[in-house]
Amino acid sequence: MSKAMQHAGTVPSLSETPRLFPSPRYPAVAVSGEDALYPIHRVFCVGRNYADHAAEMGVEVDREAPFYFLKDAQAIVDSGSTIAYPPGTANYHYEMELVIALGRSVFRATAEEAERAIFGYAAGLDMTRRDLQLDARAKQRPWDLGKNFEASAVMALITPASEVVKIGPQRISLLVNGDVRQDAHLSDLVWSPVEIVVHLSRFYHLAPGDLIYTGTPAGVGAVAAGDVIRGEIDGLAPVELVIGAAE
Ligand code: MN
C-alpha cells in the first residue's frame, strides 16, 4: 500500500492552521486505578442484542449479524450528572448497557486480536427518545433523532479488562427511584464483546478511544423529571443519572 494512501480512519487535516472558532473538544472518562483519563473517539451502539428486549420491541434478533448505530462522542456525559429532559419527545427511555472501551487499533480482527483490543468495560446508559426512534423505524428512516442527541450517552468509569472476570455470569440491572426495572445477565447477550469487535472491525478501522454500547436487556421504560436512575453490572462501577426539568 502506498504511503500516501489514506484509510478511512484518517482525519483529513490535523494541521496547526488557526481555526475560525475553537475546535470541539473530545470528552474523556475516568479509569479505575489510573490518574489519566480515557479519551473518547467514537461511540458505536449495537441494536437488539438481547432476545427479550427485541421481543418487547416487537421485533426479532437478527442471528446472522449484529447491526449498529452511532452517537457523537460529544453526547457522552459522566455518571452522576443531572441532565435536562430532552426536547422533541414525550417518551424518553433508559437503556442499561455494558460498554466496551477499546485500547488498540484493530482492523479485520481475529478473536484473539479482538480480545487484546478491549481495554476495559463500563456501565452505560443509551438514553433514547423512543417515540422518535419508533417513528423513524416505521418510516424506514435513520434513528438519529431518537438515538443521537445531546447527553444521550451516559458512562461510568472504566474498569480495565484485566480486572474483570470473563464476561457472562455478571448481573446487569437498572433501578428507577429504587425500583428494579431491568434485570438480566451478560450471558444473555446474543453477540459477545469479542464477537462484536470481530464483526465491527470488518467495517471500520477501530481505534483506541472507540466505545461500543452493547445493547440493552428487556424492561426499558420511560422516565420523567425528578427520576433517579442507577444501573449496575457486577464488578463494574455503577452508572447514575438524574433527570432534570425540560429546558
Ligand atoms: Mn441501546
* Domain spans of the chain, in order of start: 25-244
From the CA of 122, how far away is ligand 1's center (Å)?
Answer: 14
Please name which of 152, 46, 56 lies closest in space to residue 100, comparing C-alpha atoms: 46
What integer pLDDT is reported at residue 60 of this predicted model?
84
Give dist(CA 216, CA 234) in Å, integer: 15
From the CA of 145, how far away is ligand 1's center (Å)?
Answer: 14
Would you call 166 exposed, middle or buried from its count of C-beta atoms within 10 A (0-12, 13-18, 19+)?
Answer: exposed
Class of domain 25-244: alpha beta
Q: What are the pLDDT digits (tens) for 61-112?
A: 878 899 999 999 999 999 999 999 999 999 999 999 999 999 999 999 999 9
What integer pLDDT is reported at residue 116 of this predicted model?
98
pTM above 0.85, yes or no: yes
From the CA of 126, how far away is ligand 1's center (Å)?
Answer: 5
From the CA of 21, how far away is ligand 1's center (Å)?
Answer: 33
Which residues of the chain carry a pLDDT beneath 70? 1-13
Alpha helices in the chain (DSSP H): 51-56, 111-117, 130-138, 144-147, 193-200
From the CA of 52, how far away is ligand 1's center (Å)?
Answer: 13
From the CA of 114, how far away is ligand 1's center (Å)?
Answer: 21
Please name which of 131, 83, 121 lies closest in space to residue 228, comparing C-alpha atoms: 83
Residues with CB under 5 A from ligand 1 (ion): 95, 126, 216
Half-sphere exposure of 73 (CA within 13 A, CB side): 15
What integer pLDDT is reported at residue 2 of this predicted model?
45
β-sheet bridge partners, residue 69: 45
Alpha helices in 23-109 (DSSP H): 51-56
From the CA of 109, how far away is ligand 1's center (Å)?
Answer: 24
Please name which of 44, 7, 9 lies closest in space to residue 210, comparing C-alpha atoms: 44
What integer pLDDT is reported at residue 11 of this predicted model?
56
What integer pLDDT is reported at residue 19 of this predicted model?
87
